[in-house]
Amino acid sequence: MARRKYGRKKCKYCEEKVEYIGYKDIELIKYSLSERYKIMPRRLTGTCKKHQDMVQKAIKRARQVALIPYVVDRHRVIENPFDEIKPLKSK
């Protein structure tokens, strides 16, 4: 089942009126991460510059605190890597 993930050209963050993206906002960050935890370029996601800058900072911060791995092992193919990321809402 091939679902088009990045087909929309509108900024998702603007659509949802997101004003700030923090490193704990995994639900927001993951819009802009590929399945190998790489930052998606704007030309694929349609994210506007303002939100792309914000999400890039958030991703870098999230990596520093090990919420997101830097590199995914090439031999480990994960269908949905975010199954492994636990949101921090309870903290």
| Residues of the shown chain interacting with Zn ion in the complex, contacts defined by CB under 5 A | 11, 13-14, 48, 51
In the complex, minimum distance from the CB of residue 54 to Zn ion, in angstroms, rounded to a whole number: 9
Contact criterion met (CB below 8 Å) for 59 and 39: yes
In the complex, minimum distance from the CB of residue 50 to Zn ion, in angstroms, rounded to a whole number: 5
Q: 49-54: which pairs have CB atoms within 8 A and are 24 or more residues apart?
A: 51/11, 51/13, 51/14, 51/18, 51/21, 54/13, 54/20, 54/21
> Closer CB to Zn ion, residue 12 or residue 72?
12
In the complex, minimum distance from the CB of residue 19 to Zn ion, in angstroms, rounded to a whole number: 10
